[in-house]
Structure 1
Amino acid sequence: EKVTVQSWARPYKGQAPEALWNHINNHLLDSHDEPYAPYCAIVQSSGMGKSRCIDEFSKTHFVIPINLRKPRAPGFPAADKALYDLFAPDSAKSYSSPLLFELMRAFLCALFEEVEKVIAKHASNPEDLPSWFRQYMTEGQTFGSQGQKRKSLYEAVANRTETVSYASSVPQTSPKREKFSDDSGPSDPLIDAVKKLLEHFKPHTPDNSSHPRVILAFDEAHTLTRNVEESENLDGHGSFSPFSNLRGSLRFLRGSPIFSVFLSTTGKITQFSGPKHLDPSVRVQTGKYSLVPAFTTLGWDQFARPLPVIVKRDGVLCADIGFDYQSTAPESSETGVPVGFMSFVKQKLTARAADDGELPPVAKFAVLAQRLPLEFMSKVYSEAEREQVENHLRVCVSIDKSFVSMVTTNSSEPIVSEAACGLMRSADFKAPAALLRVMGGFSIDKGNRGELIALLLLILARDEAVRTPVGLEQLKGQGFFGVIPFLKALFVSPEDPSSDFEDKDIPLKDAFKDTFMHFNHFVKRGEQEGLDFPCLLGFLARNAAVMCANGQKGIDGAVPMVSMSKDGIIIVRTKTAVFLLQVKNAKKYSATPQEKLFASMDLEMFGFKDLEVPIIRVVFALAGRPALHVMQQPGKRGKFTSYDIWASGMSGQVFRACKDDEATWKSLVDLSYGWKSIYTEKESPNRELQMQTTPMVAKDPEFWEWIGEDWKRLSN
């Protein structure tokens, strides 16, 4: 609780509030696409900063914050109990549909009236109303309770709502008022309350007269969506939930400078806005009006610190390339991350407590997706994809205006990937069986040649190798592991000491004895170009390895390898090695190595023309007969040496991970037989924030904002 409250006291970072303002205005002022009602949903995974964005937004825009969380449920900001009690399912059920419609109108009327009274009594400067009101509403708040001023305000709103009777003052059908600014027709208490509130605001300048002046922000808004009584048409009084009726009242305020946003960390992400053919309003179904698209661009990496580098005579010393979490809690010896924090992350990822038994398939999908690039195939989002966003930390990159198409991803986050590693080590988590279930039961891109299978083999080898202590104290708890322990965990070492692993020149184990890797998940790139030294350096810094873009020539993945000295990890362009892989699942690639495949894995085409250290190239011939060969090859014109490994067959004779469950791995092979369009935002900073959700996928600077200027200069 203390950590959560303190985190809100830290300075806000990011441009999400500005992006939200752009989103609202662009759609409200679109003369060709008039919205049905002035509201939108904020759709994003848990922990992405929806509530914090609104709080920061309220410093410069007048926001009336309403939190409808259950009063006893933990969370920050705390619940507004008086309003929750007003709209809770048990309370709403006491109203018939017509009375529920009147209740929502009365609530808005009471809200505007009571807020106006607070401003009239306490505020003195109309130019500073947003920040003043934010201070008023947050004064005295704690993790478990709102401050007394806010409590008193909403108690007054709740009491006033229950006493206002629209039955005697408002016709049973809505007034024929097309626009808020239209003064024709009978007087209405709601309109009068809005106008009186707006008198406190400084008049607009002509060029922004249509911009919203008051924003209603409903947090934990799923409380409003509980069904009361079904109805087929939301345009009438027989609507079936508080939100349905509230939406009708908000529609009545079209043309006024009032806008609403709805946030929720639970429930269905389509509960406030959905495909028009499923919308209960006939006018939305026919296209006469549209819904304002959901806002998703909250950004990523706002709190990522530029990684410090220390220039040494022979290169750059990475003094802080691994995890850096300061805590008095017990830490993992492998990652340095506090154990208690990691348990919290595991619960958020799986949406269940640690002692709830074996994970269900959807949770296992979430775990694997933090290690492997699992991409949903269908442009029309599925229930499974939606559930991953709602409950399992999957990030929503974009939702189209029709609310039919959604692009999601598991954005690169090393801490969450490390939590997934811990979950995969549990006795009841069988990784190959889990991937088999994912590939067979979810609509995902399986790849063309079994790439996900090879990546899982590498992930499991990494999880074993990272347990082997590294030599330097400086690297303790930073996630580094040796290349040789990694290879031993990946492949079954031949028993014959004169075998291919002991080359006639320099044995592989000697060539890489002081070489290390640093990854706990794979990130798939969207473009083929730019896989150069600075790019691989970024992956190394982020504890990630590369899955190449579709159609990448010669290779399917890459893992940077760095050397260790007495000072620590030294990064030098000419001494940064690479582990390259190519995957084949056709049976024509079998036990006999094919030189042409290794020749196609040419580092020179990525700019590595002066490499002074050996590299490793591996071909995974997944459908071949079991065989394992290691060959030492000089590079073109003697530029560098390559240790080439041909690994054929999903067999326990070849891969250590296959020893206990060879049949499942073979089933994976049997089952294994699109890019920048996902960034739909056009304006700045919305587009940049959207691109930041997919770090390192291309060379555009937006994908590398997190890394800092010192690292960027290394590419020069």
Structure 2
Amino acid sequence: MVCTGRSSRNAGPSGPGRYTQLLTRSGNTAEEALFPDVRRALGLIRNLPIFALFLSTVGKLEQFSPPPQLDSSERIFRSTLVPFPPIVWTPVDVLAARITNDKVWTLREVASTHHIAHLGRPLFAAMYDAALAEGDQEVHTWIVKFALQKLLKALDPETLSLQQALACIAVRIPIEFNPAPLTPPDGNDADVERNLVADHMRLLLAVARRGAGVRMISSRWSDGAMNSVLHHQGWNPLLATMHYLGTSLLDLGERGEIATAFLLLYARDRATTFPHQPPYPGSSSDDHGLDPMYDGASKRRIVTVNQFLEALLGKERFGACAASVPRAYHTLESAAIPLATAFRDGHIYFNHFIKVNSYEMVNQQYLHLAISRGAAIICANGQTGIDIVVPILIGTSCTRTR
């Protein structure tokens, strides 16, 4: 028996949560909750081949496991019996392929639906593998849609609420929340982060990042130009961020790094809608088609360095930038090579940012792992001379030079 869900007022599109949380009515005494009664009933059949697993995303764990002094069981009250404590650790990447030196990964592989589906929560990987085992070859299509529905807690909304827009942002940019004061000022909503956890797949340490980018890109950009109609129909993530800056404990960092991450993420999203331009993995010689093992290019998750810079700077400014030569160089031959030529074979694959807390994390080994999961890096506070790193891969093989 498996009971899963959220609070009854926040049940998701599938609905099971509306029944699970009826067992944990709020109150100050255990008699007001039904969960101890269910626990005793299950104890009567403990010798039968039956198990019970209760899953919840609520933020108040004491609803499931009240303090012993409030428990209705005398044996628990006297510590004769000790109930199982709730499991609060959520493992991630447990079903993901290991990125090791004994295999040369290609950019199309690490950007593929197959690889992405196995990152993060085991929920998506388990469903993905189970569907493939049953012969469902369309799983790579619906797994992204399913992840989006779980993220937004809606089937297919035409517009986004501010909280849904913030949920999309929160899995792509590492926004943080300030600690809630004991007596918050009037107007501050300390429950914003809790609602993201309960309703929109937010974890304290890691999150799923499959559907947010798809929705944000398709609703904002078309062939590199902004879709002004959808942009004004509830799809403006900046509006959501500005709203919660004034009404919650949202913290955007100390150095403006979150604002910069927004700009870089917008440029990446816009660049993915540019027409294919060789040299590009999959633009003319992609023999794998829509194979989910190698669909990173066909799904437009990979952009060239030149496309990214054009999306970031605009066409005219990029033209001047592309023709510029380096001010510092290793050899005299490199002194006359324009930027566009130097990075002609450079590719970028990232769909979210992660924040590191150590200066030592910016190294070739860590960048190799970051690009394997589509991550750009916001550096540790106080790191000298650098704030954000966007990994660039020359060619299409994810290998380190040393």
Would the TM-score normalized by the shorter structure come out above 0.5? Answer: yes
1:224 aligns with 2:33: no
Residue equivalent to 1:305? 97
Residue equivalent to 1:463? 269
Residue equivalent to 1:433? 239
The DSSP-based 3-state class of the residue aligned with 1:546 is strand
1:450 to 253, 256, 260: 256
Letter in 2 for 1:490: L
Residue equivalent to 2:397? 570
CA RMSD of aligned residues (A): 4.4
Instruction: State the Cα deviation string for residues 421-452 of structure 1 (Å, max 9, x = none).
Output: 44763533112222222333331332112110
Aligned residue pairs, count: 323
Letter in 1 for 2:23: L
Residue equivalent to 2:199? 391
Instruction: State the Cα deviation string for residues 313-343 of structure 1 (Å, max 9, x = none).
Output: xxx755622214376439xxxxxx51x3322
1:329 to 138, 153, 178: 138
The DSSP-based 3-state class of the residue aligned with 1:560 is coil
Residue equivalent to 2:302? 480
1:78-93 equivalences under 5 Å are: none
The percentage of aligned residue pairs carrying the same residue is 24
2:148 to 339, 346, 361: 346
The DSSP-based 3-state class of the residue aligned with 2:354 is strand
1:554-593 equivalences under 5 Å are: 554-564=385-395, 569-574=396-401
Alpha-carbon separation, structure 1, partners of 2:318 and 2:109: 41
1:272 aligns with 2:63: yes
Residue equivalent to 1:502? 323
**Relative to 1, partners in 2 of residues 1:292 and 1:386: Cα closer, same or farther, differing over 3 Å?**
farther
Residue equivalent to 2:122? none
1:368: Cα distance to partner? 0.2
The DSSP-based 3-state class of the residue aligned with 1:529 is helix
Instruction: State the Cα deviation string for residues 567-625 of structure 1 (Å, max 9, x = none).
Output: xx134545xxxxxxxxxxxxxxxxxxxxxxxxxxxxxxxxxxxxxxxxxxxxxxxxxxx
1:92-241 equivalences under 5 Å are: 221-226=20-25, 233-234=29-30, 239-241=31-33
Larger RCO (CA within 8 A; separation ≥ 6): 2
Letter in 2 for 1:544: A
TM-score by length of 2: 0.65
Alpha-carbon separation, structure 2, partners of 1:420 and 1:532: 32
Between structure 1 and structure 2, the one with the greater Rg is 1
Instruction: State the Cα deviation string for residues 138-190 of structure 1 (Å, max 9, x = none).
Output: xxxxxxxxxxxxxxxxxxxxxxxxxxxxxxxxxxxxxxxxxxxxxxxxxxxxx
Q: Structure 1 or 2: larger strand share?
A: 1
2:210 to 415, 421, 434: 415
Alpha-carbon separation, structure 2, partners of 1:342 and 1:221: 26
The DSSP-based 3-state class of the residue aligned with 2:155 is coil
1:245: Cα distance to partner? 4.9
> Is contact 1:480–1:517 with CA below 8 Å preserved after alignment?
yes
1:556: Cα distance to partner? 1.3
**Relative to 1, partners in 2 of residues 1:491 and 1:225: Cα closer, same or farther, differing over 3 Å?**
same
Alpha-carbon separation, structure 2, partners of 1:275 and 1:349: 30
Letter in 2 for 1:516: H
**Relative to 1, partners in 2 of residues 1:438 and 1:491: Cα closer, same or farther, differing over 3 Å?**
farther
Unaligned runs of 5+ in 2: 6-11, 45-50, 115-131, 183-189, 221-229, 287-296, 326-335
Unaligned runs of 5+ in 1: 1-64, 80-88, 90-219, 254-259, 331-336, 396-407, 575-714
1:360: Cα distance to partner? 2.0
**Relative to 1, partners in 2 of residues 1:410 and 1:441: Cα closer, same or farther, differing over 3 Å?**
farther
Instruction: State the Cα deviation string for residues 333-389 of structure 1 (Å, max 9, x = none).
Output: xxxx51x3322221100112213x432222222110111001222178942222212
1:500: Cα distance to partner? 5.5
Alpha-carbon separation, structure 2, partners of 1:552 and 1:443: 25
Letter in 1 for 2:171: Q
1:293: Cα distance to partner? 4.7
Residue equivalent to 2:162? 361
Could you tell which deviates more after superposition, 526-535 or 432-441? 432-441
Residue equivalent to 1:25? none
> Is contact 2:355–2:378 with CA below 8 Å preserved after alignment?
yes
Alpha-carbon separation, structure 1, partners of 2:214 and 2:194: 22
1:300: Cα distance to partner? 1.0
